[in-house]
Structure 1
């Protein structure tokens, strides 16, 4: 039996050879349009591939039931904005920590934490960009201004880093990075509202 979001679907195991064919057909028949798969259960056990294309190696003879749980893409996007709000909070805490470490002359720890902060910030900006392109926010002046401010600040911080001026880097983090991070909270709220209007 194949169940999608609590509803038995009209596909039968007999028409498939392996689990991968089931997943492919479910997608091709449109059962997952505008939806994101959140959970898969095979024989009432949670399933995720241990290695790529593992589902091709599981024959339908070994399968009694497949249950697929999904969420609307817009609902998933709203969940992501909630997570992004948490990430912004972490970015703020990280910026303060790095600035403090540089001021305490703990350069090695500060540089390591600074690299982590940059990675988190890049990932955050990438995700904001994806959501923005998918769910508008294209014309929000605030987004543009904060994005440009962040870009020029990163350029300046890179130059300061090359000059190993740790105190100036701490100042940039505290007096320029942290205020920009706080402004992202409003952008995330705007993005969440845009997504709600789309769905």
Structure 2
């Protein structure tokens, strides 16, 4: 049985070889154009890939029920723009805490938090990129500069981490990363406005 957004589908699980093929087949349906999959449940259990193309390894013979939940691109855009504020706050507060932990030589806890910060920053850059691509947002020089600066600083921080220079890393976090993240607040405000404008025009 296949359920899409609460409605039973005419598609049959046995028509597909694996979960990846099934999901690609479902998303090619016309009424799912401009929609993004937010949740996949396989046999009533949430499914998310731990490694790339994991869905290809899930044999459809082992599946009795698939449920997918989707969201319209405009709605997703507004939600992402709203979430970006929370993400910025996490990045801003986290960078100061980690710098402080490194300076106190609490390296184990600092590194654990730092890894989380890298993951959040990577996700932030992905979300920003998705919004820009999906909504063909106006070329904002401030936006482009901030994206480049954050990407370059992210790369520099990774290199410093490899050299295990924790004092330099704490300086980068406090004096470069933190102010840069704070500047993103006004950029995200503009981004949210651009997304709303794009939705109104379409």
In the superposition, the TM-score normalised over structure 2's length comes to: 0.69
Specify every segment of 5 or more residues in structure 1 that has no aligned partner in the other structure, as ranges.
Answer: none
Matched length: 188
Q: Which residue of 2 aligns with 1:193?
A: 193
Q: Which residue of 1 aligns with 2:97?
A: 97
| 3-state SS of 1:186 partner | helix
User: Greater CA radius of gyration, 1 or 2?
Assistant: 1
Contact 2:40 2:47 in 1 (8 A): no
- Give, in angstroms, the shift of residue 157 of structure 1: 3.5
1:119-158 to 2 correspondences below 5 Å? 119-137=119-137, 139-158=139-158
- CA-to-aligned-CA distance 1:57-100 (integer Å, 9 cap, x gap): 489xx88xx98754311111211222222111111111011011
Specify every segment of 5 or more residues in structure 2 that has no aligned partner in the other structure, as ranges.
Answer: 49-53
Q: Which residue of 2 aligns with 1:175?
A: 175
- Give, in angstroms, the shift of residue 33 of structure 1: 1.4
Root mean square deviation of aligned Cα: 3.7
Contact 1:101 1:109 in 2 (8 A): yes
Q: Which residue of 2 aligns with 1:164?
A: 165
Of 78-87 and 149-158, more deviation after overlay is shown by 149-158
Hey, what's the Cα distance between the residues in 2 that align with 1:150 and 1:191?
Answer: 16
1:55-70 to 2 correspondences below 5 Å? 56-57=60-61, 70=70
Q: Which residue of 2 aligns with 1:109?
A: 109
Hey, what's the Cα distance between the residues in 1 that align with 2:86 and 2:115?
Answer: 19
Closer, same or farther: CA 164–41 of 1 in aligned 2, 3 Å: closer
Contact 1:77 1:131 in 2 (8 A): yes
Hey, what's the Cα distance between the residues in 2 that align with 1:159 and 1:3?
Answer: 46
- CA-to-aligned-CA distance 1:21-74 (integer Å, 9 cap, x gap): 9977764441111123456899xx967559947694489xx88xx987543111
Q: Which residue of 1 aligns with 2:86?
A: 86
